[in-house]
Structure 1
Amino acid sequence: MRLLNRSAGRLSRHRRGPIAGLVVLLLGLLMTGGLYAVFAPAQANSTASQDELAKEGRQLFLVGCAFCHGQNGEGVLTQDGQQYGPALTDVGAAAVDFQVGTGRMPMAVPGAQVPRKEVVYSEDEIAALAAYVASLGTGPSIPDADMYDPDTLSSEEYDDYVTRGGQIFLANCTACHNFEGSGGAMPRGGYAPRIRGVDPKKIYEAMLTGPQSMDTFSDGNIPPDDKKAVIAYLDRINEQPSYGGFTLGSLGPVSEGLIAWLVGIGALVGFAVWIAAQTTRTSGKKDGADA
């Protein structure tokens, strides 16, 4: 018992001594340094990898994009002051991933509408271009899968998202893209493309960045959760069969009216001509018989 009391007394004296505070300070510094060594290198490596990716993207940009957008993404003006290629300083990585990832860029021929075509760059090259353009200024980043993929929803959530997304789509999108997302004509030679069967990631990026004549639906206009609801609604349309038979392109009264005129009224006119011809033949036979 006396030995225990003596040991406790010694420890108590050491804890009160000046060396004890120094030892505690050193232990705290070692723990802090150890935690930093665990987490800091990954962050530093991530930053370094982004810088390297942006440098690679700049080389690709100078070869394939600088002619229209300028060597530093500042845009290019024609001699009469018209915008030849827009500035890319604040478009963000999402705009690059959409435009280049759908083959719309690089653009072969300037026009009112840039059509979707075969993708020129690989996924790694697109990521490098996006990293470089993102380094030029502010702008939306490439969304994660849980922000746009309807497969991440449960069955109950999916039904709720489809209902809400249909209301948002009918209020904001049908004027251009048609009630079934089949697209439609726009003024000045443009058109709203068909968005049925399109990758959900590209639909989300289009809403986020507003390519060409499309409005930009920022997160302040349509929150990310509502954007995902719109994508869920379009996903349901893709899976839903046409219970009315022929869809006629799902263009509404345009194709339906054309079919009505050509087929419906055309058939009626043809039938009327046939009745008139039969009446004339019958009347001619009777006149000959009377003679």
Structure 2
Amino acid sequence: MKKLSARRRHPLAAVVVLLLALAATGGLYATFAPADKAQADETVQSLAIEEGKKLYAVGCASCHGTGGQGTSDGPSLVGVGAAAVDFQVATGRMPAATSQGVQVPAKKNIYTQAEIDQLAAYIATFGPGPAIPTEEQYGPQGADIANGGELFRNNCAQCHNFTGKGGALTKGKYAPPLDGVDPKHIYEAMQTGPQNMPSFPDTTLTEQNKKDIIAYLDAVNSSDTTNPGGMSLGGLGPVVEGLFAWIFGLGVLIAVAVWVAARTAKAKKS
């Protein structure tokens, strides 16, 4: 007893007791605490992939192959990324109709957003590709509308026209109008280059560039935006609008000249 009492009075006794208490607490926490956030997220992702695999087998495998390798009826999905899946399925372009034309049009989608996310998670396992953007990436916060307008005119207006009203391409193809399109889908289209559109990865148009372009389209197509020049003429741009004014003005001048000449000839006969 005297030895035990002496040990208790030892200056390191309190430290030893504290260390033992901390070790016991840590062990109990590790044993009974719920899985950490990373492990929980991994579990959720695994479940999403499993559900996406089922959806893929029913709605996609017949055209794109059981492993996304592609068939004569559909291209390979290896490396397209989750962003391409979200764009194509959420806009109703996929699944495509049985009888396809030269271009697959947008239509009402048949999947919920949760199902689209599951499909995207599964197809993303075929190979690395662009991820679905976050609202921070395509939202208007911090966007430069003027820069977006310049970028859009240099890279996009040739097909979509100056204000994104859409336009005709060759062999029955077309660039769809961008008015009313979800900003997330515009971002995804720039990332992935669907159908006739070239892709604009971050090495070509940075994340900020894409944000600026989306902000520009929202500004020019906003319902409360007025055109200071009068009629927009479909937003075809200053060259076309100037040509219209020239032809219209020239036509008026010719009509006036013909009228004056006819009046003059009639007066001489009188």
Query: Which TM-score bucket, shorter chain as reference?
Result: 0.7 to 0.9
User: Which stretch of the first structure deviates more once superposed, 180-189 or 141-150?
Assistant: 180-189
Q: 1:142 pairs with 111, 132, 136, which one?
A: 132
**Matching of residues 99-118 of structure 1 within 5 Å:** 99-108=88-97, 109-118=99-108
Q: Is the aligned partner of 1:14 residue 2:21?
A: no
The aligned counterpart of 1:171 is 154
1:238–1:274 distance in 2 versus 1, CA, 3 Å? same
CA pair 33-9 structure 1, distance change in 2 beyond 3 A: closer
Structure 1 residue 100: deviation in Å? 0.8
Aligned residue type for 2:92? G
Q: Equivalent of 1:247, from 214, 227, 232? A: 232
SS at match of 2:213: helix
- Tell me: CA distance 1:226–1:7, structure 2 relative to 1, closer, same or farther (3 Å): farther
For 2:132 and 2:87, locate their aligned partners in 1 and report how far apart those are by CA, in whole Å.
9
> Structure 2: how far apart are the matches of 1:85 and 1:215?
19
**How far has the Cα of 1:133 moved from its partner?**
1.0
1:79-131 Cα offsets, whole Å, 9 max, x none, are xxxxx311112111111111111111111133332221122222222122112
Runs (5+) with no aligned partner, structure 1: 1-5, 78-83, 287-291
Counterpart AA for 2:159 = C
SS of match in other structure, 1:76: coil
Asked if 1 retains the 8 angstrom alpha-carbon contact of 2:7 and 2:13, the reply is: no
Contact between 1:182 and 1:196, CA under 8 Å: does it hold in 2? yes
1:47 maps to 42
Q: CA deviation at 1:169?
A: 2.0
SS of 1:147 mapped into structure 2: helix
With 93-102 and 43-52 compared, the bigger mean Cα shift is at 43-52
Q: Distance in 1 between matches of 2:221 and 2:100?
A: 32
Query: Which residue of 86, 95, 100 corresponds with 1:97?
Result: 86
Q: Is the 8 A contact 2:187 2:210 kept in 1?
A: yes
Say if 1:256 and 1:71 are closer, same or farther in 2 by CA, change over 3 A: farther
Alignment of 1:217-232 (within 5 A): 217-232=200-215
Which residue is equivalent to 1:3? none
Match of 2:227, SS state, is coil
Scaled by the length of structure 2, the TM-score of the pair is 0.80
Where does 1:274-289 land on structure 2 (aligned, <5 Å)? 286=270
Return 99-108 or 119-128, whichever deviates more: 119-128
Structure index of larger Rg: 1
Judging changes above 3 Å, is the alpha-carbon distance between structure 1 residues 38 and 162 closer, same or farther for their aligned structure 2 residues? farther
Tell me which of 178, 195, 207 is aligned to 2:190.
207
How much does 1:186 deviate?
2.5
What secondary structure, in the 3-state scheme, does the structure 2 residue paired with 1:12 have? coil
* Equivalent of residue 185 in structure 1, options 159, 163, 168: 168
Of residues 70, 73, 77, the one that matches 2:68 is 73
What's the CA shift for 1:39? 7.0
Contact kept in structure 2, 1:248 and 1:256, CA below 8 Å: no
Q: Which shifted more, 234-243 or 24-33?
A: 24-33
Contact 1:249-1:255 within 8 A present in 2 as well:
no
Residue ranges of structure 2 left out of the alignment (5+ in a row): none
Return the alpha-carbon distance in structure 1 between the equivalents of residues 261 and 9 of structure 2: 127
> Hey, what's the Cα distance between the residues in 2 that align with 1:39 and 1:223?
40
Deviation (angstroms), 1:176: 2.2
Structure 1 window deviating more from structure 2 (87-96 vs 215-224): it is 215-224
Aligned to 1:289: none
Distance 1:269 1:217, change over 3 A: same
Structure with the bigger percentage of helix: 1
Deviation at 1:281, TM superposition (A): 6.9
Q: CA deviation at 1:203?
A: 0.8
Q: CA RMSD for the aligned pairs?
A: 3.2
Cα distance per residue 1:146-168 (max 9 Å; x no partner): 11111xx2xxx45xx11222232
Report the number of matched residues: 262
